[in-house]
Structure 1
Amino acid sequence: MSDTTDPLDQLPDAVAAAAFRRLVRHLRHRHDAQNIDLMGLSGFCRNCLADWIRDAGYDGDKAQARALIHGMPMEEWKARYQTEATPEQLAKMETSLALNRG
Structure 2
Amino acid sequence: MAEPAWTTDICPQKRRPLGRAAMAADENLDPQTRTELEAAAFRTLVAHLRERTDVQNIDLMNLAGFCRNCLSKWYRAAAEEKGLDIDYEQAREIVYGMPYGEWKDKYQKEASAEQKAKFAVSHPGH
* Residues 1:17 and 2:7 are matched in the alignment: no
> How many residue pairs align between the two structures?
97
What code does the residue aligned with 1:46 have?
R
- CA separation in 2, counterparts of 1:39 and 1:83? 15
Q: Relative contact order, CA 8 A, sep 6+: which one is greater?
A: 1
- CA separation in 1, counterparts of 2:118 and 2:104? 20
- CA separation in 2, counterparts of 1:39 and 1:9? 28
Q: TM-score, normalised by structure 2?
A: 0.68
What's 1:60 paired with? 86
What code does the residue aligned with 2:105 have?
A
Identity of aligned residues (%): 53
In structure 2, stretches of 5+ residues that fail to align are 1-7, 9-13
> 4+ runs of 1 displaced by more than 4 Å?
8-11
* Residues 1:41 and 2:63 are matched in the alignment: yes
Q: TM-score, normalised by structure 1?
A: 0.83
What code does the residue aligned with 1:32 have?
D
- CA separation in 2, counterparts of 1:42 and 1:95? 14
Q: Write the mapping of 1:1-102 to structure 2, written as runs, cut at 5 A.
A: 1=8, 6=18, 7=23, 10=27, 12-58=34-80, 59-98=85-124
- CA separation in 1, counterparts of 2:70 and 2:110? 19
Larger CA deviation: 5-14 vs 65-74:
5-14
Q: What value does the CA root-mean-square deviation take over the aligned residues?
A: 2.2
Deviations 1:36-89 (A, max 9, x none): 111111111000000011121253111111111000000000000000011211
Larger CA deviation: 86-95 vs 16-25:
86-95
- CA separation in 1, counterparts of 2:120 and 2:72? 20
- CA separation in 1, counterparts of 2:26 and 2:79? 17
Is contact 1:41-1:93 (8 Å) kept?
no
